[in-house]
Amino acid sequence: MRSQRLDPLLRIMQQRQDSVAREVADRERTLGEQEQRLEALRRYAEEYAAAPAATSISPALLVNRLAFRERLNAAVVQQAGIVDHNRQLSDVERARLMLASRETKVLEQLADSYRAQESRVAEQRVQREMDDLGGRRARVAALADEGSKP
């Protein structure tokens, strides 16, 4: 039967879809972690920038403070880039999942269609057999009636 021949392929497609779904979940988790890091860096940079500098700060300490703020801002920019990259990877995986899901659904619909067709054919076969049996019984009964008449 055609529907049974599709079953191994359907299992493979479902396994592929499950694998892609796990990958999507991993990407989403990684993205969430990277976004949290970015938010923590931004908060720290804002707090550091808002902290008042001592009024009698030496020029060397001022230079160090400004250099640290620059490195902190660079880290925020770098982390934002990492978040964007992870978001793109996550989007790609979500698109792969949608495609795998769509392919699996199409194959499931095809298998369902084959099963329905096979069921109709089987029902028609049973009906024909019942009709043939009923016809034979009617012929046998008719012959028996003719044979019992004088």
Radius of gyration of the chain (CA): 37
The whole domain housing 50 covers 2-119
Q: Quick check: 27 and 93 in contact, CB under 8 A? A: yes
Instruction: Give tens-digit pLDDT for 5-63.
Output: 888 989 999 999 999 999 999 999 999 999 999 999 999 999 988 887 666 778 888 88
Residue 125 inside a domain? The answer is: no
Instruction: Give tens-digit pLDDT for 58-78.
Output: 888 888 988 999 999 999 999
Residue 96 inside a domain? The answer is: yes
Query: In this structure, what token pair is assigned to residue 69?
Result: 């703020």
Residue 67 inside a domain? The answer is: yes
Residue 140 inside a domain? The answer is: no
Q: What is the CATH number of the domain that holds 85?
A: 1.10.287
pTM of the complete model: 0.69
| 59-148 and 2-50 helices, crossing angle to 10° | 160
Counting the structural domains of the chain, the total is 1
Instruction: Give tens-digit pLDDT for 109-147.
Output: 999 999 999 999 999 999 999 999 998 888 888 888 777
CA–CA distance, 52 with 149 (Å, rounded to integer) = 124
Residue 126 inside a domain? The answer is: no
Q: Is the pLDDT of residue 150 over 70?
A: no
